[in-house]
Each structure stands twice: as structure tokens, then as C-alpha cells.
Amino acid sequence: MTDPVEERRAFGQELRALRRRAGLTGGVVAGRLGWTQPKVSKIENGHQLPTVAEVRAFAETAGADSRETGRLIARIESLTITVSGWRTLQRSGIAGGQQDLSELESRSAVIRRLDPSIVPGLLQTAEYARVMLSGGPDATADVGGGVEARLRRQEKLYTGSQRFTYVLLEDALRRLVAEPDVLAVQMDRIAQLSTLPTVEVGILAADRRLPLAPIHGFSIFDDHLVQIELESGAVDITSPSDIQYYRQIYDVLDAACLHDDAAREIVASLAAHFRSMVGSSHVPRSSVTPASPVESNRGQRS
């Protein structure tokens, strides 16, 4: 796999060559674009990835024709998508992955999460989290450490300095991904957290027509990053146009959600449903769905 760091450095060097071909200094380009000279330096050295609009402005300032500008834009768009395989993500362990995600969340004022399959990590109980982090291909994974790290991440829900918004599907919450008693307590937890001023939970009711069908879950960190979990790894997207597309998907689905007391009524009904199943002979333990490789080894599906 091509090293993304090297690709960004090579792209920056191409921009530097374009500037020098035009006989311009970094300071001159910065002045014309209203940037600082250090910003030009960081972009040209591959330390800062420019946006599509910034690449277009840089190229036009350096006298690039439309064909060359189009090629540079296509290249920067490809660089704004980073794919990491689960073996790479596994190197830091479950707890390390949770710490990385916690740091990313701390740098964001608003985190939006759409999850069409499970309860997001920051809303999980310890018991639910243990199920989600167990059963993967790495038998040596520190599940206990991962659960502790996930629960530490949840502390930021109580600080009041950030906002966390969620779109969840009722039919997904109804799935038996854990034992009924675990799920009942998990529903209680969602209802409880939804009353915090930092948390907003939207539920897409099963009896409502979806304005669109979400293909996969994703998280939006402010408006600068989208993260997508795959069965074989993860994708980070920083292209402004792609981020805007995911934001539109989120907003459309959020508008179709039930919120506040109406959402809490749904999760309360689900909690009662799961409690009625506890001890039932109709719920064999084998019916519980095992966690996916990404969920178990990366531990960051949130």
C-alpha cells in the first residue's frame, strides 16, 4: 500500500515546483492568497493538506492552465481519503484505539454519529461494550482495557463543552446483539444520557418511512472529517465536498427522527420488550450475534 505521508509530501513538492516555475516566492503566493507564509511552507512540505478550493487558488495564482489545475484537484481529492486495514489499526490495541478516538473527539466541538447497526460507543454500558469488543480474530486482545478506555471516553459527555448528536434506527436497536438483560439496561442508558445538555439522540421509528436508506454508519467531526467503519478497516474522509454530502445525509435523517420524550418512549418500550424476554426459552444464547472483526480489534465503532 502506498504511504499516504509520502503521497502528501510528493503532492506538496509538485505545488512547490509549480510555484517556482512561475518565478514566485512562497511569500508572494501567501500575500496574493491572503495566507501566511508558514501555511504555504507547510503545504509544500506535506505537513498540511490543502482543501480543493485552496489547491485551485494556488494553481491559478501560479499560472496553471485549466487542465493542470483539474489534474491537481483530482489528485488532492484522492489524498483526502485514507483507508486503514484492521491489522494496521490493531497495532495500537483496543485501548490505544479508544485513546486515539478520544483525542479526536476532544478537538471537535460537535460530533455527529449515524449508526444503523449498533449502539454508538459513547452511549454504551460496560456490559454492552464488552460484548461488542469480544469475539474477534485476535484472541490476545485486551477487551477489559478496551472497555475501561471506552468508559473513560464517556466522561466528556458530562463536561458541557461539546455536543454529541446521534441518529439511531429503532429496528437496529431491537436486534439481539447481546443477551436481553444486557440490552434492557442498555436502552435505559440511552434514555438517561439523552437528557444531558451535551447529548441529543434521534430515533428513526420503525413504522416511519425513511427519506433515504443509510448504507453504513459514519461519524462527522465538526465539518473537517468523516470516519467510516468497514468490516476490514476504516476510512477517513477530509474532502470538503464529500463531508458536505455526508452532512446532508445526516441532516435529512435527523429531520425524520423522533427526539426528546418521543425518542425516550421508544427506548423505554424496547427496554420493556427485552426485560420480557429475560429467561425465555425462545431466546437461545446462540441467537446472539458475535462482534465483527473491526469492532473487536479496533474497538472504535462509535
pLDDT tens, position by position, 39-83: 999 999 988 888 888 999 999 999 999 999 999 998 887 777 666
Residues 97 and 241 both lie in one domain = yes
pTM for this entry: 0.70
Instruction: Identify whether 233 is part of a domain.
Output: yes
H or E element in which residue 26 lies? helix 26-33
Tell me what pLDDT residue 52 has: 85
Instruction: Identify whether 208 is part of a domain.
Output: yes
Residues 165 and 16 both lie in one domain = no
Band (pLDDT 50/70/90 cuts) for residue 280 is confident
Band (pLDDT 50/70/90 cuts) for residue 301 is very low
2 pLDDT exceeds 60?
no
Length of the chain: 302
pLDDT digits (tens, 9 = 90+) for 137-162: 555 568 888 899 899 999 999 987 89
Give the CATH number for residue 45.
1.10.260.40
Q: Which of 35, 54, 79 is the last residue of a domain?
A: 79
Band (pLDDT 50/70/90 cuts) for residue 240 is confident
Whole-Å CA distances, 240 to 7, 15, 110, 135, 237: 19, 20, 16, 36, 9
Cell of 138: 485476535
Domains identified in the chain, total number = 2
27 pLDDT exceeds 90?
yes
Residues 38 and 102 both lie in one domain = no
Q: What is the DSSP secondary structure assignment for residue 255, as one 8-state letter?
A: H
Instruction: Identify whether 90 is part of a domain.
Output: yes
Residues 181 and 271 both lie in one domain = yes
Residues 119 and 159 both lie in one domain = yes
Instruction: Identify whether 44 is part of a domain.
Output: yes
Specify whether the CB–CB gap between 213 and 272 falls below 8 A.
no
Give the CATH number for residue 137.
3.30.870.10
Residues 230 and 264 both lie in one domain = yes
Whole-Å CA distances, 275 to 78, 186, 198, 281: 48, 11, 29, 13
Instruction: Identify whether 302 is part of a domain.
Output: no
Q: What is the residue range of 164's domain?
A: 83-297
Instruction: Identify whether 245 is part of a domain.
Output: yes
